Amino acid sequence: MSMNLETPSKQASPPVAGHSPARARTRLLEVAQQSLAHLSTTRANGQAGLIADVGISIALLGAGLWRSNVRPVAALGTMLFGLLLFSFFEYCVHRWLFHGPPQIMEQGHRKHHEQPLGYAALPFFLPPLGLLVIAGILILIVPAAIALLLSGALAAGYAAYGLSHTAIHNLRFRDPLSKRWAAIHHIHHHHPDKNFGVTTPLWDIVLGTQYVSKGKATGRRELAVGNADR
């Protein structure tokens, strides 16, 4: 009797779940997020961020002025408008994002209120990249010189915000004007619903979120009543 011994056909082994491409990508993203989160809390990142912010603002403004074919008054007006626009953007982000419903933004900003001397900041390379993207978009809409000057002014406003915020929390001012300016933000840490502007109190005054002490508020009400009785 003959017997035919057949070798069983080889079947492909199922992929190990732990080594699947999708899981590998997920793990890579988790590692990247953890690395960026750690970077964002380091002193070196904060210092590099300030340098990068100043550098990108100088580069954009320099490029705009170098190739500027607009009149000096128009160039100056564009830069002033950019600074004003950033101050409003700063106010809106601080008021409605950092102190608003978005949990991620609110939670991150809460850490700053709990530890004002901490080094929590965006990864140093993100703001310059974002500003370069803004400059690229503007170049598609307006003349290149105007786009560079406007984006450069926005970058300068952001750099001023970073430098101002760092100085307020790390320096002791002696002259009355600087002390009063720094006190505006320190008050915000005790009254989170007031004084959202860091570089300027302009939009707090315009939109009614400027902190007014009880004594001054009483005095203003009495003055208003007195004027109404006349």
How do residues 34-82 score in pLDDT, each as one tens digit?
Answer: 877 777 778 898 899 999 999 999 999 999 999 878 888 999 999 999 9
Per residue in 101-139, pLDDT (tens digit) is 766 666 667 777 777 777 778 888 999 999 999 999 999
CA–CA dist 51, 55 (Å, integer):
6
1, part of any domain: no
50, part of any domain: yes
120, part of any domain: yes
Range of the domain at 47: 36-229
pTM, rounded to two decimals: 0.78
181, part of any domain: yes
Six token digits for residue 12? 């492909």
State how many domains the chain has.
1
Handedness of CA 69, 74, 78, 80 (dihedral sign): positive
Tell me the percentage of the chain whose pLDDT exceeds 70. 80
Mean pLDDT throughout 150-168?
A: 96
202, part of any domain: yes
31, part of any domain: no
Question: Mean pLDDT in the chain?
Answer: 83
134, part of any domain: yes
pLDDT above 70: residue 14: no
Structure confidence at residue 3 as a pLDDT band (50, 70, 90): very low
